[in-house]
Amino acid sequence: MKTSKAAKPLPCPCGSVSYADCCGRYHAGDAAPSAEALMRSRYSAYVLRLSPYLMATWHPDTRPASLDLDEDACQWIGLQVLSHARQDDSRATVAFVARYRINGRAHRLSELSRFVRQDGRWLYVDGDTGS
């Protein structure tokens, strides 16, 4: 007699639990409860090429007019959150390192990102990048 195994949950690109229990719910419309959760969901959105989500979670004062996520340009391969600091109820920073490949060559993006909370939702403002 054959027994069926439950489907294994799809892992979240940000490296935390399953996609449905992590970034998937924010991509579906739930508000991220913290700047770190928003940053993780934005990383996952880059991995999954969810331009509308990235634009919607970018502060309107710093959001670009458009965002082209060229499928061949970049392959995101890992995220490490270094710190999350909340300055007050409406401002926070998140330091992270994201790893990616372009044409088979590995790269690292280090950023200290700034976030603000408006109308109950965290938004990405900008960040300082390092090597």
Separation CA 59–CA 63 (nearest Å): 6
Tell me yes or no: is domain 23-65+74-130 CATH 3.10.450.50. yes
pLDDT in tens, 79-109: 999 999 999 999 999 999 999 999 889 999 9
For the chain, the domains span: 23-65+74-130
With vertex at residue 17, the alpha carbon angle to CA 14 and CA 20, rounded to the nearest 5 degrees, is 90
Q: Average of pLDDT values for 25-47? A: 97
Residue with tokens 């690292």: 108
User: CB–CB of 9/19 below 8 Å?
Assistant: yes
Give the pLDDT confidence score for residue 48 in this predicted structure: 94
Structure tokens at 77: 């391969």
